Amino acid sequence: MATISDVATRAGVSTATVSRALNGKATVDPELAGRVLAAAEELGYRPNGPARNLRKQETAVLALIISDVENPFFTAIARGVEDVAHEAGYSLVLCNSDDAPDKEREYVDVALQERVAGVLLSPTGSSGTAELLARHSTPVVAVDRPLPDRASDTVLVDNRMAAKHATLHLAGQGYSRIGCLTGPSGVPTADDRLAGYRDGLRAVKLPSSTSLVRRSKFKADGAQQAAHALLRQNNPPDAVLVGNSAMAVGVLEALAALKLKPGRDVGVVAFDDAPWTTLLDPPLSVVAQPAYDIGALAARLLLDRISGDREETSTTTLSAHLVARGSSSR
């Protein structure tokens, strides 16, 4: 991607002259202006609108790239980011990667082409994305998951501890064969929740078996199939910890199809406190994450980074808390 410095070098003028020429200032000698315009055309350079706005202290743009805009957890993160960004005079562009590295890379490319002031990213795990952002010196803050193989400002939740507490809660309610339905292998949140589940089982000396664990995408349809397989096996679990609210929908659909009632027949605790969870009979027990706070804090960190107020990177880990309801009590 050509920069204003590249144009200046090609035309043999200063960057200030390039800026004046591209903005149509009459003070630029016509011959110099012609050289600048020719150099810009040859290099494919486009003026950096957001940067001009930043210099004028007008509206700037941030990009938020999340894995699933339909997930209430990420929706709340987006709201936290937007509130802080808007208050500071920034606009927000929301992108949905669907946890696909290629799609994430496409959105990062667009963000770089548009020269956004900074990027907030829930990484898919592709190291190429982090390298691309670093190569262009674009400020970035990772949310929910760390950037792979690169230091950055990061805002996380202690998923492992939260999953352990949820598992201990199920054990305390008298469930003795507890299963876990989590997301894809290699996704840090999914792996941490599985590790916390196993920590909980060890703490109360309950059996841990691969037959009690299923993985799927963080989506309802995959979770429904996985829950069917989990619950129709010989010696099925009497309770299950579920990776997120979208997966919880699939689990509840599987329970209904098998004529099993949450709480009475199968204890259920799911990550994320979506608005509909209290409308069920019985209401769904959840691990409530501070999603809005994640977004708001990440946005503040990014704005500090953009303004040059911060140099060292930091990782902030927030806590989640269990909200026990009828689906996890017998």
* Domain residue limits, the chain: 4-47, 58-156+291-318, 159-289+322-328
Determine what percent of the chain is predicted with pLDDT higher than 70.
Answer: 93
Mean pLDDT (whole number) for 296-314: 88
Mean pLDDT (whole number) for 233-259: 96
Residue 59 has pLDDT above 60, yes or no: no
Residue 307 has pLDDT above 60, yes or no: yes
- To 10 degrees, the CA torsion angle through 175, 177, 180, 186? 140
Q: Give the model's confidence band at 25: pLDDT under 50 very low, under 70 low, under 90 confident, else very high.
A: low
Q: Give the model's confidence band at 48: pLDDT under 50 very low, under 70 low, under 90 confident, else very high.
A: low
Question: What's the pLDDT at 80?
Answer: 97
243 by Cβ neighbours in 10 Å (0-12 / 13-18 / 19+) ranks as buried
Task: Give the residue with greater pLDDT, 109 vs 180.
Answer: 180
Whether 251 contacts 277, CB under 8 Å: no
Question: What's the pLDDT at 141?
Answer: 96
Mean pLDDT (whole number) for 42-61: 59
Question: What's the pLDDT at 57?
Answer: 37
Q: Give the model's confidence band at 55: pLDDT under 50 very low, under 70 low, under 90 confident, else very high.
A: very low
Q: Position of tokens 């949905």?
A: 96
Question: What's the pLDDT at 58?
Answer: 34
Kindly report the CATH number that applies to the domain delimited by 159-289+322-328. Answer: 3.40.50.2300
18 by Cβ neighbours in 10 Å (0-12 / 13-18 / 19+) ranks as buried
Question: What's the pLDDT at 114?
Answer: 84
Whether 155 contacts 318, CB under 8 Å: yes
Task: Give the residue with greater pLDDT, 214 vs 124.
Answer: 214
Mean pLDDT (whole number) for 15-22: 76
Kindly report the CATH number that applies to the domain delimited by 4-47. Answer: 1.10.260.40
Give the C-alpha distances (Å, rounded to integers) separating 269 from 18, 45, 191, 208, 329.
Answer: 60, 53, 17, 18, 10
Determine what percent of the chain is predicted with pLDDT higher than 90.
Answer: 65
CATH superfamily, domain at 58-156+291-318: Response regulator (3.40.50.2300)
Q: How far is CA 20 from the centre of its chain?
A: 40
Helix (H) / strand (E) element for 94: namely strand 90-96
Summarize pLDDT for 118-155 with one digit per residue, the tens: 999 999 887 788 888 888 888 999 999 999 878 899 99
Residue 54 has pLDDT above 50, yes or no: no
Distance CA 76, CA 328 (A): 25
Question: What's the pLDDT at 132?
Answer: 86
Mean pLDDT (whole number) for 86-99: 91
* Topology alike, domains 58-156+291-318 and 159-289+322-328: yes
Q: Give the model's confidence band at 257: pLDDT under 50 very low, under 70 low, under 90 confident, else very high.
A: very high
Q: Give the model's confidence band at 1: pLDDT under 50 very low, under 70 low, under 90 confident, else very high.
A: low
Buried b (16+ CB within 10 A) or exposed e, 283-304: bbbbbbbbbbbbbbbbbbbbbe
